[in-house]
Chains A and B, each alone.
Chain A
Amino acid sequence: MNVATSNMTAARRASLADRTEQLKRMLEIRIVEERIQQLYSEGEVRGSTHLCNGQEAVAVGVARSTRVSDKVTCTYRGHGHALALGVTPEEVIGEICGRTLGCAGGLGGSMHLMGPAVGLLPTFAIVGAGLPVACGVALAARVRRSDDVAIAIFGDGAANIGAFHESLNFASIRALPIVFICENNLYGEYSRINTTTPVADIATRAAGYGMPGIIVDGQDLDAVAAATAEAVARARSRKGPSLLEMKTYRYSGHSRSDPAAYRPTGELDAWLQRDPIALFAERLVNERAILPGDLERLRESMREAVEDAVANVLAAPIPSQDAMLSHIAATAVF
């Protein structure tokens, strides 16, 4: 990543102090996800993609309440988090289209976005893999006497993997500066949570590790940001880890090939009634931060910006053969 891009991602993160920017970022995420679905059908995206539309408030709320020196581990459903943390639409779409403009130069793909300048490690494509790594990030902050914190973002499915247990236990006994953020979107792949998990609230598991477990309305950006800010403050002041459970919903299926036909009738509609973008826009209107008509205007301007990014991506080359054979080890292998 060059310096200009790195500065841009950090500036994008800083801009989230502004409430209208928070709304715009959620719109950006929604539009990028919709566009990626389209790019997939146009043959520009290979493999699989895991969209996060519906979960935008979690991404932006967490990004708003953390700083660029904090480090984030995140799942393969990570497009929204990358954008929220500051990675540009061009870098995100570029990566998903396998072009040189991508944040990993097109070598990683949809499941492996990253943003070192804003603390995002390459996203993890193995369920639960990011949790132990986040513990190590927190351990490093402790050793270096820094007050940075680790943010581990994972899904409800990961709460049933061994790494969840080991990480929460380890973090708690060492009082590590880490915030475990579970995005409970009710589905692990194609299975509804009630068929895989004996408790409805993942947060209740925190008790077994002696840490706070907080249930958060994941569709409410301010609720997400407030809960994150509190847990981050606790971690920074060396009071230990927390488990936050963001109640949210993915509007799409698990991956591009999944039409999500397993969802009960009416479930999606009910969640659409509490769309995070609509909820936040309404709040901004009430706060007189924006006018009632502004949402559509903002949506249109974000759409244009995303289209510009798509055009740049599609005009960019695919990576060179050398790229595939470099960065394997510190010393060149080839």
Chain B
Amino acid sequence: MRMRQAVLQALDDALADDESVILLGEDIAEAGGAFKCTEGLLAKYGPDRVIDTPISEMGFLGAAVGAAVCGLRPVVEMMFVEFTGVALDQLTTQAATMRYLSRGQFQVPMVMRASAGAGQGFGCQHSQMLDHWFRGTPGLKVCAPSGSRTAYGLLRAAIDDPDPVVILEPRILYGEREEVDFDRNFRLPLGAAEVVRRGADITLVTVGAMVPVAIEAAKLTSVDVEIIDLLSLWPWDAAAVAGSVARTRRLTTLEEAPRGVGWGGDVVATIMSEAFASFAAPPHRITLPDAPVPYSGGLEARYLPSPAYVANQIDVLVTQGRTPSPWWKETI
């Protein structure tokens, strides 16, 4: 099953299981979605529940807030996460504070799904993860799947959740296949990480499209890497990371984010603070440079961490016992 099909399956099952679920977004009904994540749902559930909107992100994201306050469970598709920019107020300022301001009398059980991330030549205004726009907002949850199974499990859990949830779906993974075995009751708890590879030498914490990169990287190094897929970026599973680091005594993040805004800053600071005695080496972060996403193919391939680059960073860190420089400093 491709990841886009898993998203479609999750939406289909949610619409069938709960009549309060509605979908909103640009070209999601008649056209089935720019990435075909809602194909066929209009015919099955009708135009009152699968709703095409004008190109009016503030309008339909805000409408989701209002519908959610009144008991519906809207799932908004944001075609590219950057399009949230013109609508951010409705999510981070309005949706996120509704419960707080109403002292729990109103809740906003809505989901915003957005395609996100680099690697396909969409240029700097259509290639970012932008989790930092949402992460750390009190009242908002943020997660990102790394394949078909996690896409289904997170989306179903997000739709069930009583609070607003942002799901950043790595666009580059929509077409990726994964053998899956789950039923319609499958959920991944929000805020919980998963260990996707056991290892003894270093804990690599990552999320989204970097998970498959980490798995490939682990095959290219003799270092025994433990890979944790955070799945949720806010709140994130500090206990899982701390527990792993207690065994491996080393930590690196792998982030599809410019260094200055990457979630790894928080992960490293938190784990260092809570488990300082665990560390046998300084914690490390593998990130993007603090630069916009370049269009040209060769540059974008360099911009994103590759398995070979990640493996090399791990080798230097663990085998040579020193902190590697990022590629843009080129002093390795």
A residues within 8 Å of B by Cβ? Answer: 45-48, 98-99, 104, 106-112, 124-129, 157-158, 160-163, 188-191, 195-197, 262, 318-319, 321, 323-325, 328, 333-334
Cα A130 to Cα B294 with chains together (Å): 21
Q: Which stretch of B13-21, B82-90, B180-188, B202-210 is in the interface?
A: B82-90
Query: Is B131 located at the chain interface by the 8 A CB criterion?
Result: no
Residues of chain B within 8 A of A190, CB atoms compared: 27, 30-31, 34
Query: Is B321 located at the chain interface by the 8 A CB criterion?
Result: no
CB pair B302–A111 under 8 Å, yes or no, is: no
Cα A100 to Cα B301 with chains together (Å): 17
Q: A162-B86, A189-B31 are in contact. List 5 more A-B contacts (CB 8 A).
A: A107-B299, A111-B123, A124-B125, A125-B125, A323-B294
Residues of chain A within 8 A of B296, CB atoms compared: 98-99, 106-107, 109, 318-319
Residues of chain A within 8 A of B300, CB atoms compared: 46
Listed from nearest, the 4 A-B pairs whose CB atoms lie closest are A46-B121, A109-B295, A98-B296, A47-B121
Cα A104 to Cα B290 with chains together (Å): 19
Residues of chain B within 8 A of A127, CB atoms compared: 55, 83
CB pair A98–B297 under 8 Å, yes or no, is: yes
**A324 contacts which of B57, B86, B126, B299 (Cβ < 8 Å)?**
B299
Residues of chain A within 8 A of B123, CB atoms compared: 47, 108-112, 125
**B292 contacts which of A46, A160, A318, A328 (Cβ < 8 Å)?**
A328
**A108 contacts which of B55, B120, B295, B297 (Cβ < 8 Å)?**
B295
Residues of chain B within 8 A of A48, CB atoms compared: 122, 126
Given contacts A189-B27, A325-B289, contact A158 B55 (CB under 8 A): yes
CB pair B290–A162 under 8 Å, yes or no, is: no
CB pair B295–A98 under 8 Å, yes or no, is: yes
Query: Is B39 located at the chain interface by the 8 A CB criterion?
Result: no
| Most chain B beta-carbon contacts within 10 A, residue among A107, A128, A323 | A107
Interface size bucket, B side?
35 or more
Cα A43 to Cα B34 with chains together (Å): 21
CB pair B55–A161 under 8 Å, yes or no, is: yes
B85, closest chain A residue (CB) = A126
Query: Is B56 located at the chain interface by the 8 A CB criterion?
Result: yes
CB pair A321–B295 under 8 Å, yes or no, is: no
User: For chain A, what secondary structure do more than half of its interface residues adopt (helix, strand, loop), or is it mixed?
Assistant: loop
9 A-B residue pairings within 8 Å (CB atoms)? A99-B296, A106-B295, A112-B124, A163-B86, A191-B26, A191-B54, A262-B31, A324-B294, A328-B290
A258 CB to nearest B CB, Å: 9
Query: Is B104 located at the chain interface by the 8 A CB criterion?
Result: no
Residues of chain A within 8 A of B303, CB atoms compared: 324
User: For chain B, what secondary structure do more than half of its interface residues adopt (helix, strand, loop), or is it mixed?
Assistant: loop
Cα A324 to Cα B127 with chains together (Å): 15
CB pair B291–A195 under 8 Å, yes or no, is: no
Query: Is B58 located at the chain interface by the 8 A CB criterion?
Result: yes
A198 CB to nearest B CB, Å: 10
8 Å CB interface, B78-98 against A: 82-83, 85-86
CB pair A318–B125 under 8 Å, yes or no, is: no
**B290 contacts which of A47, A108, A157, A333 (Cβ < 8 Å)?**
A333
Residues of chain B within 8 A of A191, CB atoms compared: 26-27, 30-31, 52, 54
CB pair B86–A161 under 8 Å, yes or no, is: yes
Residues of chain A within 8 A of B31, CB atoms compared: 189-191, 262
Residues of chain A within 8 A of B121, CB atoms compared: 45-47, 98, 109
Cα A262 to Cα B292 with chains together (Å): 35
Given contacts A48-B122, A190-B31, A333-B290, contact A318 B299 (CB under 8 A): yes
A317 CB to nearest B CB, Å: 9
8 Å CB interface, B293-315 against A: 294-300, 302-303
Cα A328 to Cα B293 with chains together (Å): 11
**B299 contacts which of A195, A321, A334 (Cβ < 8 Å)?**
A321
**B294 contacts which of A124, A319, A334 (Cβ < 8 Å)?**
A319
Given contacts A111-B123, A323-B299, contact A333 B291 (CB under 8 A): yes
| Most chain B beta-carbon contacts within 10 A, residue among A127, A157, A161 | A161
**A47 contacts which of B53, B54, B289, B295 (Cβ < 8 Å)?**
B295
B170 CB to nearest A CB, Å: 15
Given contacts A158-B55, A161-B86, contact A325 B291 (CB under 8 A): yes
Given contacts A46-B297, A126-B83, A321-B302, contact A112 B125 (CB under 8 A): yes
Residues of chain A within 8 A of B291, CB atoms compared: 324-325, 328, 333-334
B48 CB to nearest A CB, Å: 15
B189 CB to nearest A CB, Å: 34
Cα A107 to Cα B295 with chains together (Å): 5
CB pair A195–B52 under 8 Å, yes or no, is: yes
CB pair B328–A162 under 8 Å, yes or no, is: no
Cα A46 to Cα B120 with chains together (Å): 7
Residues of chain A within 8 A of B302, CB atoms compared: 321, 324
Residues of chain B within 8 A of A160, CB atoms compared: 54-56, 59
CB pair A157–B295 under 8 Å, yes or no, is: no
Residues of chain B within 8 A of A112, CB atoms compared: 123-125, 295
B26, closest chain A residue (CB) = A189
8 Å CB interface, B29-69 against A: 30-31, 34, 52-59
A48, closest chain B residue (CB) = B122
Cα A121 to Cα B59 with chains together (Å): 28
Residues of chain B within 8 A of A163, CB atoms compared: 86
Cα A195 to Cα B328 with chains together (Å): 48
Residues of chain B within 8 A of A333, CB atoms compared: 290-291
Residues of chain B within 8 A of A161, CB atoms compared: 55-58, 86
Cα A323 to Cα B58 with chains together (Å): 35
Residues of chain B within 8 A of A262, CB atoms compared: 30-31
Residues of chain A within 8 A of B52, CB atoms compared: 191, 195-196
Residues of chain A within 8 A of B85, CB atoms compared: 126
B121, closest chain A residue (CB) = A46
Residues of chain B within 8 A of A47, CB atoms compared: 120-123, 126, 295
Cα A318 to Cα B303 with chains together (Å): 14
Cα A262 to Cα B29 with chains together (Å): 12
